[in-house]
Structure formats: structure tokens, C-alpha cells
Amino acid sequence: MRDAGLRVLAVDDVPAALDDLCGMLREAPEVADVTGAGDPLSALKLIQNGDFDAVFLDIAMPGLDGLELGSLLNKLASPPVLVFVTAYDQHAVAAFGLGAVDYLLKPVRPERLADALARITRIAPSEQPAGQPARPAAPPDAMAALPVESAGRTRYVRRSDVRFVEAHGDYVRLHAGSGVHLVRMPISRLEEYWESAGFVRTHRGFLVALGAVRELRSDSAGGLLAHTDLGDVPVSRRHARELREQLLRAAQRGEFEQQA
């Protein structure tokens, strides 16, 4: 965080909601300056002419919605940290897919706003002395938890709890310690997000967490299986050698989890 505090832009096309959010942000000790924008185009102009650490975006806005605006902001040379603020929970997957650090549901509770600001301060670059280049901000950890919607409720499945992922059409099944969860997302997209966290493709329809693999074993037909405590994951010939090498490197680095 900069010594003077965070500079924040709030965007919402509903004046009362924008006023409420700006008021809450101004009361936060981490925030030094708050600017409000009543529509996405005004927000774009402000961002082009200013320097913001974070942008709090509503999603349902006329013309250019918050997800589209967030996608544009991500293309900037130094994009601000994104937090989405909305009355609808069905956009959470798309929001986290854009690298948002949080997804707040209206009405925003003070403790949830505090959580979001704490995450922003861990990512926003610190103020550097004159003449020294600023350190690059750490990229947000996209999809560290996936929202799973069921019966009108949204729960979050932690990536660290997932042993393997199975493709199911336009969905994926997350095989986790808490159960099997269905999420609307192609497996290729999830692979992009989770590859850096140790998830590797073993088969056209499967990803496995390297740290969850207990052993490699042969099936009755001579094929290869990666055994986890939640079941066996098929390994195609195409991916077998790479998986063995990655498991060896992970073991050498001591990265295997002690799963219950």
C-alpha cells in the first residue's frame, strides 16, 4: 500500500448505491481518496486521466457492463486491482476469471469490505522513494476458490481442497474433500487458471493436483492411473512421461501435500 493510502474508483449507475459505497470506502482507514463514476464511460475517462490502485465495479450497467469494463482495464499496462460489487451472485466465476480479488454482494457488509481492502493492500505497490522504480504489483491469484451455486446459495470450494477435476461438457466436476461439485466452466479454461498452482492435465478430460497423487499404478488393461485419496485419475500415453517428470520435480522440491 502507498504510504498515503489507497486511491479508489467506485463505479455504479445507481446514484444511491454509488453514494453508499463511496461513503463506506471513505470511512476505511486504508483509503486515502475515493472517486465515484455513474457509468462505465465516465469511469474509463477517469482511469485514463488518473491513477487508481483499485476499482470497485458494479456489473449490471447499461451499455458497457462491469465485466466488459473489467476486461478492458486488465489490458492496461498497469491495471488497477478489481473488486466487483453486485446484487447477483451468478457472475462470480466470470469475475474471478478476470482476476478480481473479491466479489461483494449488495448490500455490502462492512466486514466484507474490510476483507476486500485487506486483499488490495497486499497487492497494491508500495510508494517508492523518488528516483527508484516502483516494484511491480503481485498479480492476483485467480480462482483460488471457485463459487459453486446450488439451490439459490453460493459456496466457495478452495482450490487446495480439490484433488482432481473431471470434464463434463461445458462443466467441470471438482473432486474435493468436501464432495463433488459441478461448476460451469470448460476444463481448458480452468487449466489455464490452475496450472501455476500445480494442476496438470493427465488426460483429455482430467486435471490432477500434483500434491494429491499418492502413486502411479496400472489398470487391468495396462493403462496408467494416478491414484489419489478420492479415486483414480486416468493418464493417457501422451501425458504419462510429462506427469512422471513433474511428480519427480515436485517431490524434489518437497511440494507434496499431506492429505488426510
pLDDT score, position 175: 97
Instruction: Write out the chain's pLDDT in tens, 260 residues.
Output: 344 699 999 999 999 999 999 999 999 999 999 999 998 888 988 988 878 999 999 998 877 788 888 888 888 888 899 999 988 777 777 777 778 888 999 999 999 999 999 989 988 754 444 444 444 444 445 567 787 777 767 778 889 999 999 999 888 999 999 999 998 888 988 888 888 889 999 999 999 999 999 999 988 888 899 999 999 999 999 999 999 988 888 777 766 654 44
pLDDT score, position 204: 93
Alpha carbon distance, N-terminus to C-terminus of the chain = 37
Q: Cβ of 96: how many Cβ atoms within 10 Å?
A: 24
Closest CA to 57 of 98, 111, 27, 6: 98
pLDDT score, position 74: 82
pLDDT score, position 137: 43
pLDDT score, position 32: 95
pLDDT score, position 232: 96
6-123: what fold?
Rossmann fold (3.40.50)
pLDDT score, position 201: 95
Stated pTM of the model: 0.52
- Residue 93, classed as helix, strand or coil, is helix
pLDDT score, position 166: 97
pLDDT score, position 139: 45
DSSP letter for 89, please.
Answer: S
- Residue 115, classed as helix, strand or coil, is helix
pLDDT score, position 112: 92
pLDDT score, position 255: 64
Closest CA to 82 of 147, 233, 130, 72: 72
- Residue 35, classed as helix, strand or coil, is strand
pLDDT score, position 96: 75
CA atoms within 13 A on the CB side of 117: 24
At what angle are helices 15-27 and 110-123 packed, to 10 degrees?
Answer: 70
Q: Name the grid cell of 140.
A: 492476483
Q: Does domain 148-252 have CATH number 2.40.50.1020?
A: yes
Domain boundaries, the chain: 6-123, 148-252
- Residue 164, classed as helix, strand or coil, is strand
- Residue 227, classed as helix, strand or coil, is strand
Q: What is the rounded radius of gyration, in angstroms, for the C-alpha atoms of the chain?
A: 21
Amino acid at site 61: M
